[in-house]
Amino acid sequence: MTTDEAVTVSTGARELAEFDKTTSRWGRITMIVGLLLSIGAPLYLVFSGEVNVTAGQLWTAFAAVAGTFFIIWLVEPLTYFPILGPAAMYQAFMIGNIANKLLPAALIAQTNIGAKPGTKRAELAAVLAICGAAMVHLVSLAVFVGLLGTWLISVIPADIVTVTRSYILPSVLGAVLVQAIVSMKQPRATVVALLVAAVVTFVVVPAMPSLALSSTAIAVIVTAVLAWFLRNKNDQSPAELATIE
């Protein structure tokens, strides 16, 4: 490596370190502000006395919601982080629609530039892809919902709307699954994931219906453990994967 190349690499490393530092600081601040704004109005209504809700009822409702979505709170960050990286995670959880919009956009961007998930190059691609996805989403909402929404609903046959709703989610999630398999290029881990998902869906849940709400968490955890122990020991180390390609 020449002197100029060494200087370039050193400068790039410093800039990426500063990027991570800035992202972490402002990401936390933005998420906290978003949280306060989202719960500010309900809390005002509760504590101002305009809504007849007691503290006990509030905590009971929270416990009911937490009991249903607690597994998702744990599984989603663990599932998305290896692909999105820390910077894009702040964006994704602030914007929403991760699985059906932001994750596919990030995967497609990473695949198009040949960036392997887990690298800095892939992380930056995810950040830019999410920015683009959010922009397209907002423009689409403004045009097709804000301006043309009522007219479009009136001209589309009701039968088509009903059928389309039944296929939108499977088609989007199927595309995300295929894109993830193609991007990761880990046939061994893919086979493990598919087998575990099949066993959990068709064997474990029918035998023990009480585990239905925890099935996603079970599949993710078991897949991660098996993939780790059955991985190819000759694969690149995490340190090598963390470098910019």
pLDDT tens figures, 211-231: 887 787 788 888 888 888 887
Q: Is the pTM of this model over 0.85?
A: no
Distance CA 156, CA 99 (A): 27
Please write the tens of the pLDDT for every residue from 163-211. 777 787 787 778 777 877 776 678 888 898 889 989 999 999 899 988 8
Answer for the pair 117, 184: CB distance below 8 angstroms, yes or no: yes
Q: Note whether 245 and 115 are within 8 A (CB).
A: yes
Among residues 23, 20, 18, 9, which one has the least CA distance to residue 243? Answer: 9
Q: Any alpha helices (H) in 114-148, and if so which ranges?
A: 120-140
Q: Nearest to residue 16, comparing CAs of 122, 131, 134, 130?
A: 122
Q: Is 232 helix (H, G, I), strand (E, B) or coil?
A: coil
Q: Distance between CA atoms of 19 and 60, rounded to whole angstroms?
A: 41
Helix (H/G/I), strand (E/B), else coil: 112: helix
